[in-house]
Amino acid sequence: MSVSIRKNAYTGPVKAVVLDWAGTVVDYGCMGPAAVFAEVFREQGIGVSMQEARQFMGIEKKEHIRNMCALDSVVNAWQKQFGRLPGEGDVDKLYERTAHLMVAAIAGHADPIPGVVETIDTLRGMGIKIGSCTGYVQEMMDVLVPAAREKGYSPDAMFCSSDVPAGRPYPWMCYLNAIELGVYPMAAMVKIGDTITDIEEGLNAGMWTVGIVKTGNEMGLTIGDLASLDPEDRDCRIRAIRARFEGAEAHYVLDSTAEVIPVIEDINSRLSEGDQP
């Protein structure tokens, strides 16, 4: 087997995409995990809004809980409820409950987002490998992966936050995908996700990045709820989410992963001209 040594900018085509799961490929609106986080705190008598529950989506789930426990609203409510500040022992207990509820919830949120399975088939027809990563841990993916497979989605590689020393925005899961898929350099790979930490992860890995607006956590609505919004309200929300992704320096911003084929073609053109992520 011949091995190429990189001395100049990579000018070949995209070789692989690395996709997030909930809100990017399955679970339109990223509804499953957000509901679980809200329920876990509610059980402790601590009310959190869905916006607060979604605020740290994309990172490893225990770190997500730790960050929620540091929110002023949660700190104040915890102090009132328990007469003390939330500590690491509380984080451990909340995470244990979250893991249990998350496993139960995931199986019911494995439906692929419309058009995504067909898009992935097209990517494979272009010779592109399909990687994936997630803020979920292995016990959660043990439920989600087979459930998604039954519904038509099965990536070539899958890594989760429990596979690496630290989750997003660190690039480790993307690097593991590159190793598993046998793809390099990182400029030949595209990271697609629905959270700011997805974009940060891809940028840190030296990849092209694509932010997903309508189907993901940033929007946080089901298909029906999104369709029922007043058009002016919907357009305002879309503009705000696009601005956040652009502020995070995503290379591209799309409504859905189902729209990614023209982006791949554009990246191929840019790479051929010597452009790099």
CATH of the domain at 81: 1.10.150.240
Say if residue 24 is in the same domain as residue 49.
no
How many Å apart are CA 203 and CA 224, to the nearest integer?
33
Residue 149 CB partners (closer than 8 Å, separation 6+): none
On whether both 81 and 118 belong to a single domain, the answer is: no
Least-confidence region, from 52-56, 168-172, 239-243: 52-56
Same structural domain, 131 and 246: yes
Per-residue model confidence as pLDDT tens digits over 58-117: 778 888 899 999 999 999 999 999 999 999 999 999 999 988 888 888 888 899 999 999
Q: Is residue 161 one of the residues assigned to a domain?
A: yes
Tell me the average pLDDT across 184-199: 97
Last residue of a domain, one of 44, 76, 108: 108
**What is the domain range of residue 53?**
32-108
Asked if 27 and 162 sit in the same domain, the reply is: yes
In a domain, 3, yes or no: no
Q: Are 159 and 247 part of one and the same domain?
A: yes
Please tell me the predicted confidence (pLDDT) of residue 51: 83
Catalytic residue set: 20, 61
Task: Assess whether 80 and 120 both reside in one domain.
Answer: no
Spatial distance between the Cα atoms of 105 and 3, rounded to a whole number of angstroms? 45
- List the alpha helices (DSSP H) in the chain: 31-43, 50-54, 61-69, 72-82, 88-106, 116-125, 138-150, 172-181, 196-204, 223-228, 231-247, 261-272
Q: Is 137 or 156 the better-scoring residue by pLDDT?
A: 156
pLDDT at 203: 98
| Least confident interval from 45-49, 182-186, 254-258 | 45-49
pLDDT-derived band at 4, boundaries 50, 70, 90: low
The answer to whether residues 218 and 179 belong to one domain is: yes
Note whether 100 and 117 are same-domain residues: no
**What three-state secondary structure class fits 113?**
coil
Question: How confident is residue 131, by pLDDT bands cut at 50, 70 and 90?
Answer: very high
Determine, yes or no, domain membership for 204.
yes
Q: What CATH number did the domain enclosing 121 receive?
A: 3.40.50.1000
Residue 1 pLDDT > 60 = no
Based on the domain organization, do 128 and 241 belong to the same domain?
Answer: yes
In the predicted structure, residue 242 carries a pLDDT above the cut 60: yes
Largest pairwise CA distance in the chain: 66
Residue 36 has pLDDT above 90, yes or no: no
Same domain for 77 and 123, yes or no, is no
H helices present in 126-195, as ranges: 138-150, 172-181
- Assess whether 47 and 125 both reside in one domain: no
Do 262 and 126 share a structural domain? yes
Tell me which of 85, 108, 131 is where a domain ends. 108
How does pLDDT run across 200-239, given as a tens digit for each residue? 999 999 999 999 999 998 999 999 999 999 999 999 999 9
The predicted model gives 24-40 an average pLDDT of: 88
CA angle (115, 119, 123) in 5-degree steps? 175
Q: What percentage of residues in the chain have a pLDDT greater than 70?
A: 98
Among 108, 128, 159, give the residue marking a domain's end.
108
Q: How far apart are CA 69 and CA 152, in angstroms?
A: 37
Q: What confidence score (pLDDT) does residue 2 get?
A: 52
Residue 104 makes CB contacts below 8 A (sequence gap 6+) with none
- Average pLDDT over the chain, rounded to whole? 93
Lowest mean pLDDT among 95-109, 136-150, 250-264: 95-109
Q: Is residue 248 part of a domain?
A: yes
The reported pLDDT for the residue numbered 32 is 80
